[in-house]
Amino acid sequence: MMAAIISAAPEAVAEGAPSRSSDDGSEKAPWYKQCLVGMEIGPTGAQSGVDPGDTAYAERFSGKDIVDRAVGAGSEYVVIWAKDSEFAYYDSKVAPKCPGLGKRDVLREAVDAGREHHVPIIAYCVVQGNGYPLRDHPEYKMQDAAGKPIDRICFNSGYMEHAKAVVAEMVAYGLDGLHIDMLDQGFGPPYGCWCPACRKLFQETYGAPMPAGVTWDEAWDRMMSFRFDTSARFERELREYIRSIAPNVSVDFNYHGYPPFSWEVGQRPVQHAHIGDFVTSETGVWGFSALAASLTAGFVAATGPGETYQVVIQRGVRSYHDMTTRPTADMRWEVMTLLSHGAQVTIVDKTPYDGALDRVTYERVREVFDEAHRKREHFGQPLLPEAGIYYSSRSRDWYGRETPTKYQQSFNGAHKALVYEHIPFGVILDENVSLEELRRYPVVYLPNAVILSENEVKLFTQYVSEGGRLLVTGLTGLFDAMGRPKTESALADLIGGRCVRVLDSLDNHVRLADTDDSLAPLHRDIPLDWPFMVHGPAAVFTPTTAVPVGELMQPHRTLRQQKGSEGTDFPNSADKPVGPAFLVNTYGKGKVVYLPSSPDAAIAGEYGMVEDRRIIRNAIRFLNPEPEIEIAAPLNVEAVVTDDAGKRMIRVHLIGYLSPPASTPSKNRPYLIPSLMEEPLTYTARIRLRRPIVQARPLNPSTDLTIDGPLIEVTVRDVHEAVLISY
């Protein structure tokens, strides 16, 4: 049974917390602005439930050993597991203490060791979990629309007082920061919460009762806003409380507003990202795909341009708690990918059941962190993107609905295409989009952004009319704000065409034919007069002011399929043409290329073809034929380009993976984990820069580099290389 819940007194200020001012009185940057890499260490077992009499669990979980070992591995900060949904790992008065610890206090041990090593100590505190709080206080539980309890904590239930009591105990130890996990409202059905507290607050807020369930109408629109606002309000109140009792202690929340997560967790991409001092997200091949490292970094960076963001990875192969250890090269690839994009990186180590530490894990982390330290001055510069991939959270919520990949698959495929083609990218979010942000990109790419507001359309129109270039795919603009089909695209004038109908098929095809020289780049490296499948949603358009190119072809349907006695899940071959494959339109000083098919959805799906990717590359190169920088490298090498204008230096980060990395699968993610990367690659890459090159050199002594005018050629023999180009 949990101890009685008490409220913490405001005077419980964290003694010994680091000052934001230096000894000479000047302002000192907080730890999260200074650190590059760190570790999070916690026990494993409580997540599955532990018998309180099992004193073997976490008996060797030692704060001092953890900090000593993490610092020895090069960790610049340590996140120590302090409380989960079952136990506190310190002498708590408000949460049950882990029985295996006996009289030991892991949090005290860690804080004391952190002071000895002069490293920040951050306490990991679980909020959302179905352990002791829900067993002892069922009134905290969410309820479904019928009033049936759901084993999740309702953020409007009064649980806040317990959360405040817990964090007050923790900050009194002299912490540098608090990491609060999890702030989700569940990752799928059943959906909450219709408890009395939520019903009352909803009525007071909107002057109407809650909807009877997931109704996907105006009432549900209010319900979704209520869910989002509930999560944000809980985080803000907890953050402000922590600041009131410990103003120098940082606060960050585990964030789930990015793909593959959706509205179900109760978070929007921008609204919930930076409620804390910085945003923390997580990635990894085990649950998100190999391309997720790149996509997560780009996405989270867009939630607060220029702000600190942290991405968490793990040392294990399949999940946080599986007791496996990845090869050094595999961890180097993921860490270097994230650092190249500008992230701060945390590696998670889940200890064996007794809380001991795995020697080999820390030896391998040491190698990874040594490289990060050596190269740290080359990370964090502003990105130099060519294409901005647009993400519509409204489309995520109201078109994807309870099948979020219906929308997000196109976004994932757009990212995959650009990474494979070495086109530097950034992410643009509908919540904070501005004309200034659009102007940063030579090309703005809208992958199946089906719902666009009037304000978004105005921004895109002005961007293009001033000389911007827009790439549009799929059913963009063909649904209203509630996710209902429209008869006309919101971008009809920009794309220069009118919608005839939306195809009811996914196994659609495209056939390209020879064109005049001005349009020939659109079919580069694609066989002509050959139907190839573009598996994804598509619409039939007729041009108004646009020039049509190629043909969109509907799929063949058997007689049995036409009668409805045979399904259409398995793709069929091409039938007759129904409209153009491209619409190319000049608007003002700019240009728009529209593909009524969805090659991006195909790329991230089960039936993606090379030609699907090449269509996207060709469209971008047609729109922007002379980019600032062009990179040719193998498909399994990602290129990240940054520009340090003050030093007049472009850095081209090249990160080689075992094989071309896959996107997050559309279902059952991930289907499988690729083979672990055990050794570096050897490959040749070419970089063409449209600025006068003063000097170019690689970071690694093993790399060969030659310069021939604007062309740089490198032969790389490592996981990560950065080519430093002075201009």
Based on the fold, state whether residues 139 and 259 are members of the same structural domain.
Answer: yes
The whole-number pLDDT of residue 369 equals: 98
Q: How far apart are CA 526 and CA 519, in angstroms?
A: 13
pLDDT, mean of residues 193-211: 97
Whether residue 3 is predicted with pLDDT greater than 80 in this model: the reply is no
Q: Which residues of 481-515 are buried (b: 16+ CB within 10 A; e: fewer)?
A: eebeeeeebbbbbbbbbebeebbebbbbbbbbeeb
Based on the fold, state whether residues 666 and 608 are members of the same structural domain.
Answer: no
Based on the fold, state whether residues 534 and 602 are members of the same structural domain.
Answer: yes
Whether residue 653 is predicted with pLDDT greater than 70 in this model: the reply is yes
* Secondary structure class of 120 (helix, strand, coil): coil
Residue 323 placed within a domain: no
Q: Considering only the C-alpha atoms of the chain, give the largest distance between any 2 of them, rounded to a whole number of Å.
A: 84
Q: Which of 242, 276, 310 is the last residue of a domain?
A: 276
Tokens at residue 334, please? Answer: 């993921």
Q: 16: pLDDT confidence band, cut at 50, 70 and 90?
A: very low
Give per-residue pLDDT as tens, 51-102.
Answer: 888 899 999 999 999 999 999 999 999 999 999 999 999 999 999 999 999 9
Whether residue 682 is predicted with pLDDT greater than 80 in this model: the reply is yes
Residue 658's domain comprises: 631-726
The whole-number pLDDT of residue 23 equals: 44
* 103 within 8 A of 109, measured Cβ to Cβ: no
* 264 within 8 A of 188, measured Cβ to Cβ: yes
Q: 673: pLDDT confidence band, cut at 50, 70 and 90?
A: confident
Q: 11: pLDDT confidence band, cut at 50, 70 and 90?
A: very low
From residue 494, alpha-carbon distances to 54, 134, 439, 499 in Å are: 66, 54, 17, 13
Residue 5 placed within a domain: no
Residue type, 104: R
Closest by CA position to 314, among listed 339, 334, 294, 291: 334
The dihedrals phi and psi of 363, each to the nearest 5 degrees, come to -65, -40
Based on the fold, state whether residues 598 and 657 are members of the same structural domain.
Answer: no
Whether residue 13 is predicted with pLDDT greater than 70 in this model: the reply is no
Q: Which residues on adjacent β-strands are paired with residue 721? A: 654
**Within 13 Å and on the Cβ side, how many CA atoms surround 453?**
10
**What value does the mean pLDDT of the chain take?**
94
Give per-residue pLDDT as tens, 475-523.
Answer: 999 999 999 999 999 999 999 999 999 999 999 999 999 999 999 999 9
Whether residue 26 is predicted with pLDDT greater than 60 in this model: the reply is no
Based on the fold, state whether residues 586 and 695 are members of the same structural domain.
Answer: no
Q: Tell me, what CATH number does 457's domain have?
A: 3.40.50.880
Q: How far apart are CA 103 and CA 84, in angstroms?
A: 19
Q: Which residues of 354-366 are buried (b: 16+ CB within 10 A; e: fewer)?
A: ebebbeebbebbb
Based on the fold, state whether residues 656 and 610 are members of the same structural domain.
Answer: no
Based on the fold, state whether residues 585 and 567 are members of the same structural domain.
Answer: yes
pLDDT, mean of residues 708-722: 97
Q: Tell me, what CATH number does 704's domain have?
A: 2.60.40
Give the single-character DSSP code of 376: G
* Secondary structure class of 653 (helix, strand, coil): strand
* 288 within 8 A of 319, measured Cβ to Cβ: no
* 67 within 8 A of 110, measured Cβ to Cβ: yes
Peptide bond into 182 cis (omega under 30): yes
pLDDT, mean of residues 22-35: 76
Residue 334 placed within a domain: no
Q: Tell me, what CATH number does 80's domain have?
A: 3.20.20.80
Q: 24: pLDDT confidence band, cut at 50, 70 and 90?
A: very low
* Secondary structure class of 242 (helix, strand, coil): helix
Contacts for 362 with CB less than 8 Å, ≥ 6 apart: 69, 70, 72, 73, 349
The whole-number pLDDT of residue 553 equals: 98
Closest by CA position to 78, among listed 109, 47, 55, 56: 109
Contacts of 193-197 spanning 24+ positions with Cβ under 8 A:
193/142, 193/143, 193/150, 193/152, 193/154, 193/156, 194/143, 194/144, 194/145, 194/146, 194/147, 195/141, 195/142, 195/143, 195/154, 195/156, 195/157, 197/154, 197/156, 197/157, 197/158
Based on the fold, state whether residues 603 and 712 are members of the same structural domain.
Answer: no
Residue 203 placed within a domain: yes
Give the single-character DSSP code of 40: E
Q: Which of 238, 257, 276 is the last residue of a domain?
A: 276
Closest by CA position to 155, among listed 146, 142, 166: 142
* Secondary structure class of 396 (helix, strand, coil): helix
Q: What is the DSSP string of 666-681?
A: SSSS-S-PPPPP-S--
Residue 41 has a CB neighbour count (10 Å cut-off) of 27
Contacts for 115 with CB less than 8 Å, ≥ 6 apart: 16, 174
Residue 700 has a CB neighbour count (10 Å cut-off) of 18
Q: 425: pLDDT confidence band, cut at 50, 70 and 90?
A: very high
Based on the fold, state whether residues 690 and 609 are members of the same structural domain.
Answer: no
Residue whose pair of structure tokens reads 């608090």 in the numeric block: 178
Contacts for 555 with CB less than 8 Å, ≥ 6 apart: 505, 507, 508, 509, 568, 571, 572, 573, 574, 575
Give the single-character DSSP code of 94: S
* 470 within 8 A of 593, measured Cβ to Cβ: yes
pLDDT, mean of residues 113-118: 98
Q: Is 518 exposed, middle or buried (0-12, 13-18, 19+ CB in 10 A)?
A: exposed
The whole-number pLDDT of residue 688 equals: 98
Give per-residue pLDDT as tens, 224-260.
Answer: 999 999 999 999 999 999 999 999 999 999 999 999 9
Based on the fold, state whether residues 262 and 158 are members of the same structural domain.
Answer: yes
Residue 666 has a CB neighbour count (10 Å cut-off) of 19
Give per-residue pLDDT as tens, 510-548.
Answer: 999 999 999 999 999 999 999 999 999 999 999 999 999
Closest by CA position to 256, among listed 128, 67, 443, 68: 128
Residue 361 placed within a domain: no
Based on the fold, state whether residues 561 and 640 are members of the same structural domain.
Answer: no
Q: How far apart are CA 273 and CA 302, in angstroms?
A: 10
Residue 404 placed within a domain: yes
Residue 310: left (phi > 0), alpha (psi -120 to 50), or beta? beta
Closest by CA position to 219, among listed 233, 205, 230: 205
Closest by CA position to 508, among listed 546, 548, 550, 543: 550
Based on the fold, state whether residues 154 and 212 are members of the same structural domain.
Answer: yes
Whether residue 578 is predicted with pLDDT greater than 50 in this model: the reply is yes
Q: Which of 276, 291, 313 is the last residue of a domain?
A: 276
- β-strands 141-143, 629-632 pairing: unpaired
pLDDT, mean of residues 434-451: 98
Residue type, 130: N
Per mean pLDDT, which range of 46-55, 202-211, 416-425, 681-690 is the poorest?
Answer: 46-55
**Total of domains in the chain:** 3
